[in-house]
Amino acid sequence: MLTRKQHELICFINDRLAETGVSPSFEEMKDALELKSKSGVHRLISALEERQFIRRLPNRARALEVLRMPERAAPKAKSPKPARDAAPARGTGNVRTVPQPANDVVEIPLHGRIAAGVPIEAFEGHSMLAVPAALLGGGEHYALEVSGDSMVEAGILDGDYALIRRTEIAHDGEIVVALIDDSEATLKYFRHEGAMVRLDPANRSYDPQRYAPNQVRVQGRLAGLLRRY
């Protein structure tokens, strides 16, 4: 069962797709639902995505597809309306909708710098980082600025922003944020080795780090990277 805001949002998206063939922007969804920020829209979309009511189309920032509507809220049948700059299709009198470009972004917490080499103090400072919505999936996310070169062979460079999905569960072979002794954080491959936890770098110049399980707490899994040039 959906919450009232989730129900309002999926109906708004469905109506807009029926009218224009283009999903609404995050700003339009925020205004329609009278929310204070676009991060609230992102949370609602993630919840609808996890419940398989909608899905994000790959490689496009503004592309949502309604998979199904909640009960008692069947899709409205509306005639598509042409976009303002739509042009007639050649040889017919029909109107061809021209999608408008969009650059929807979501602001997520930026918790300072994280070591991709020797562990450093965890979560220094707190600010917000604007991230293209298309880079994030479902769930709660935060960002960390990478410091060091021990993950270069995984394509993670010094100065990159690691986009982290918050979770306390990790499987062998996943890249995670590991909090060591509740004071230092590092970005590494997570693996079990007998009774120990092994944190592996992606750089042959560095050695694996081994800890007792009670020394390590997973703080999230790598969901994506943001790099500025």
Does residue 115 carry a pLDDT above 50? yes
The predicted pLDDT at position 91 comes to 45
Model confidence pLDDT, tens digit, residues 173-189 = 999 999 888 878 899 99
The predicted pLDDT at position 61 comes to 52
Does residue 117 carry a pLDDT above 70? no
Q: Which domains does the chain carry? A: 1-70 (1.10.10.10), 105-226 (2.10.109.10)
The predicted pLDDT at position 36 comes to 80
* Helix/strand/coil for 213: helix
pLDDT band of residue 151 (cuts 50, 70, 90) is: very high
The pLDDT mean for the chain works out to: 78
- β-strand 161-165 against 64-66: which pairing, if any? unpaired
Q: Which residues contact 108 (CB under 8 A, 6 or more apart)?
A: 39, 128, 129, 131, 136, 141, 142, 143, 163
Of 5-14, 75-84, 110-119, 170-179, which range is least confident? 75-84
What residues form DSSP beta bridges with 187? 177
Beta strand segments in 68-126, E: 87-88, 95-96, 105-115, 120-121
Q: Is 188 a catalytic residue?
A: yes
The predicted pLDDT at position 89 comes to 44
Does residue 25 carry a pLDDT above 50? yes
Does residue 120 carry a pLDDT above 80? no
pLDDT band of residue 132 (cuts 50, 70, 90) is: confident
The predicted pLDDT at position 14 comes to 86
Q: Is 150 a catalytic residue?
A: yes
Does residue 216 carry a pLDDT above 80? yes
Q: Which residues contact 171 (CB under 8 A, 6 or more apart)?
A: 190
Q: Please tell me the distance from the alpha carbon of residue 45 to that of residue 8, in angstroms, as a whole number.
A: 11
Among candidate residues 23, 25, 46, 150, the one labeled active-site is 150
pLDDT band of residue 40 (cuts 50, 70, 90) is: confident
Does residue 66 carry a pLDDT above 50? yes
The predicted pLDDT at position 68 comes to 84
Mean pLDDT of 208-212: 94
Q: Please tell me the distance from the alpha carbon of residue 188 to that of residue 199, in angstroms, as a whole number.
A: 6
Q: Please tell me the distance from the alpha carbon of residue 65 to that of residue 3, in angstroms, as a whole number.
A: 19
Q: Which of 208, 217, 122, 209 is nearest to 178 (CA)?
A: 217
What residues form DSSP beta bridges with 57? none
